[in-house]
Amino acid sequence: MTISTKFNLVLAFVFAIGLSVVGYVSNYVLQENAREEVIRHADMMMEAALAIRSYTIKEVKPLLSKQLEKKFLPQTVPSYAATQNFNALREKNPEYSYKEATLNPTNPRDRATDWETDIIQQFSNDNQIKEVIGERETPGGTSLYLARPIRITDEACLACHSTVDSAPMSMRKLYGEANGFGWQHNEVVGSQIVSVPLSLPVKKADETFRIFMASMLIIFLCIFVLLNLMLRKFIIRPVVKMSHIADEVSNGNMDAPAFIARGNDEITQLATSFERMRISLEKAMKMLS
């Protein structure tokens, strides 16, 4: 096996290990960054929903309080206002969603599905959990969800949801008397859930990873070719030439051309020593003859 072959095998082995480590680390970082970006988007949507709820409570509901005595207006309900706003957003971005999932809702559209019920149960079972982040498969691909508990901390909420008799007649006429009652103070009745698509950021991360790995491979190939050219020019050729001259001398051809090397590296020192040995051998042969 030649020096060039051994060198290339070692270089390829080292690069394969390095590329594997770099590939694993870079892919992990890109995937985590993509996930963090989606979480930031979900958190921004959640804060926007909270802002809409706050605006509805502070500015919309007081203006319509007198009308509520005659007719129930869902627009004055914070959860309804937030949901309607995000439903408008979903007209152009159907993969995004916001829902105030409730176990026993007044409005049937807010009823929790099976997976949403599991999240609500987590909040009910552990009061220390303030937020849940997870992933789930949807027809449109993988989606990341961010959920926060809906806990009855304001006694005013119980005016409409404690008992049927205490609820406004206008609300009962609109939604009926079968659902949305029996809520208790400090009880977790539901969860705000924001869903954001994860497939697109992950796809972009995968594309970036492929471009990065392809660039690394091209760089390696360039380094591989450059190192082989340098190896051949500065090491292989001088050694082969010295080997050829050594063969000529060992066969008794003292007229073989001298090997002249310029520089101050190890090959030059070897060439100088070799030439000095050849001259000494030639003098010794002349003395013997």
192-202 tens-digit pLDDT: 999 999 888 88
244-263 tens-digit pLDDT: 777 777 776 666 666 666 76
Mean pLDDT value across residues 114-119: 92
213-242 tens-digit pLDDT: 999 999 999 998 998 888 887 778 877 777
pLDDT at 259 (0 to 100): 66
pLDDT at 149 (0 to 100): 93
Reported pTM:
0.71
Q: List Cβ neighbours of 174 (8 Å cut-off, separation of 6 or more).
A: 72, 74
* HSE-up of residue 30 (Cα within 13 Å, Cβ side): 20
Q: How far apart are CA 167 and CA 155, in angstroms?
A: 13
Is domain 14-202 given the CATH code 3.30.450 in the classification? yes
Asked if 136 and 145 touch (Cβ cutoff 8 Å), the reply is yes
CATH fold of 206-288: Helicase, Ruva Protein; domain 3 (1.10.8)
Average pLDDT, the chain: 84
Domain ranges of the chain: 14-202, 206-288
